[in-house]
Amino acid sequence: MGEHVDSVDCSCFGCIQVWETRSRARDALTLLCREHPRFDVVEFGEVPPVEMSLIQQLRLASQNTVAGGGGTGKGAAGLPFDFVATEMMDALAACLHGDAVELGLVDGFASISPEFDGEVLLGALGSVDAEVLESKSVVWRDWTTRIVDHLNPGRKTPIPGNCPNAECGASDWVTVDEDGGSVHAPALYAVWKDERVDHIQCMCCSMLWHRHELFDFARLMDPFIFQKLLANSSVED
């Protein structure tokens, strides 16, 4: 690595880290707030389809467009909307607006829309302190994971026990079935990608443990948790 120079082309270690932080934040906000091409579903050289922003997909799910004849929500005819998607939408909107207010980009009044706050944040990435941006980008990236998991549920394995997050500690959570009744389910789930655990999520506090944090999770919960998951894995519909 070279020495730091006062230039946008500086290639010192510190400047590369800052560039990577801003790139991660930009990628997360772009997925949340803007339409984006899906290069992962086409061959090289083909024109990729354009996907709606995750916010728009979550909004459609919260409005239960499945019952109305289209969309990606998990709502059912017996419910006026996807209850979980509605809660997520409110929490995400509060998060983005709170970040924009904290950074002095908008006033503290009611948000115009989460997309508006996201665009304001995108426009300010170059001027936000890198350490502040790193902490916020972690939250924004976690939001992309949570939304994708909810809209496109894959293989999940329930994990018995209490959430190791000191501010949570829940062992189960209550959701709503398609008849409007209460349903109790485990709070903790392992989410798989291919044949390995990609991350673990608590459905109560939304805490995520990514792959590089799984050993920390096992240390807090059960040193043999992953052997048990492999032995007793199941698919949650």
Residue range 145-157, pLDDT digits in tens? 888 888 877 778 8
Q: Residue 64: what pLDDT?
A: 62
Please give the average per-residue pLDDT across 150-169, as a whole number: 84
The position carrying tokens 């949650």 is 236
Res. 2 pLDDT band, cuts 50 70 90? low
Residues 22 and 77: their CA atoms lie apart, in Å, by 42
pLDDT, averaged across the chain: 78
pLDDT at 129 over 50: yes
H-run or E-run covering 189: strand 188-193
Q: Residue 136: what pLDDT?
A: 93
CB count in 10 Å sphere of residue 133: 23
Strand partners, 200: 190, 209
Residue pair 67/58 in contact (Cβ under 8 Å)? The answer is no
Pairing of strands 50-51, 182-186: unpaired
Angle between helices 54-62 and 114-123 (to 10 degrees): 170
Question: pLDDT higher for 92 or 185?
Answer: 92
Please give the average per-residue pLDDT across 126-155, as a whole number: 87
Q: Residue 116: what pLDDT?
A: 94
Q: Residue 66: what pLDDT?
A: 41
Q: Residue 178: what pLDDT?
A: 53
Q: The pTM is what?
A: 0.64
Please name the residues in contact with 116: beta carbons below 8 A apart, sequence gap of 6 or more.
none
The position carrying tokens 């990609």 is 198
Q: Residue 231: what pLDDT?
A: 52
Residue pair 126/22 in contact (Cβ under 8 Å)? The answer is yes
pLDDT at 99 over 90: yes
Residues 151 and 55: their CA atoms lie apart, in Å, by 11
Q: Residue 78: what pLDDT?
A: 43
Q: What is the pLDDT of residues 110-120, one digit of tens each?
A: 778 999 999 99
Residues 197 and 208: their CA atoms lie apart, in Å, by 12
Angle between helices 13-33 and 114-123 (to 10 degrees): 160
pLDDT at 177 over 60: no
Helix (H, G, I), strand (E, B) or coil at 222: coil
Q: Residue 156: what pLDDT?
A: 81
Residue pair 157/225 in contact (Cβ under 8 Å)? The answer is no
Q: What is the pLDDT of residues 16-63, one digit of tens each?
A: 788 888 888 998 999 999 887 766 556 777 777 778 899 998 998 887
